[in-house]
Amino acid sequence: MKTRTKLLLGNWKMNKTLREAKAFARESVELSALAMANNVELGVAPTFLCLEAVRKTNPDIIVAAQNLHYEPKGAYTGEISIPMLKEIGISWSIIGHSERRQYNGESSLSCNRKVLAMIENDMTPVYCCGETLEEYESGITKAIVRNQIRTGLSGVAKDKASRIVVAYEPIWSIGTGVNASKEIAEEVCGFIREVLGEMFGTTVASEIRILYGGSVKPDNIKSYLSAKDIDGALVGGASLDIQSFKALLENIL
């Protein structure tokens, strides 16, 4: 079985001007070197406007889009296509973040079209799943997550599935300061790997990286990543400040 490389990915959401993004990227160069020396992958997901600048300023950091469209071109006002991203050297994108689902009406079915388009174009999707507080309190977390995984990753060829990264983010924990315990996170991430095993076989499932996200901070990231089925973190607010981002990385090592 391959050893899964740890991954720390910062989701900047609608934050940072171009000037601020460039400044962060310059300061992150030494962090990338530290990460590579310790076999950790380090990345950020800026806004579309900042993608190319961050990639050029620090070529050693993974730079991911926060979303994309599944069609290569067309009459889709406000959208960004895969060819546009690839032209500026971007090969990663977050897909199906809960905020996209909540505010933009995205479904696991629409996410599936994006995932399949990315796989076809040799890109890496970071596919997000997670339940609401109401769903968690109703005890249907696993049913919700299973449906999101099976629908969102439907049709992915087994020999391409290991390219996917899955991010489990309980919606009730995102930006609220309320953390899912390590035990809850590990149980759900372990369950996700079981579902992936049903879809792609246990060998492939053992190679897919699963991230945890939801109020991850420097003081709790080490605990989450000590769980056997959690391979990294998708971090929001704590990834915006370079010192906080450095502390996140140092606490993984």
Is 97 among the residues known to form the active site?
A: yes
Q: Give the separation between CA 23 and CA 126, rounded to whole angstroms.
A: 25
Structure token digits, residue 91: 């090969």
Q: How far apart are CA 46 and CA 38, in angstroms?
A: 24
- 137 catalytic residue (yes or no): no
Residue 198: Cβ within 10 Å count: 13
Active-site residue (options: 97, 99, 106, 131): 97
41, 99, 106, 169: which is the annotated catalytic residue?
Answer: 169
CB count within 10 Å of CB 190 equals 14
Contact 238, 244 (CB under 8 A): yes
Where b means 16+ CB within 10 Å and e means fewer, 137-147 reads eeeebeebbbe
Catalytic residues: 97, 169
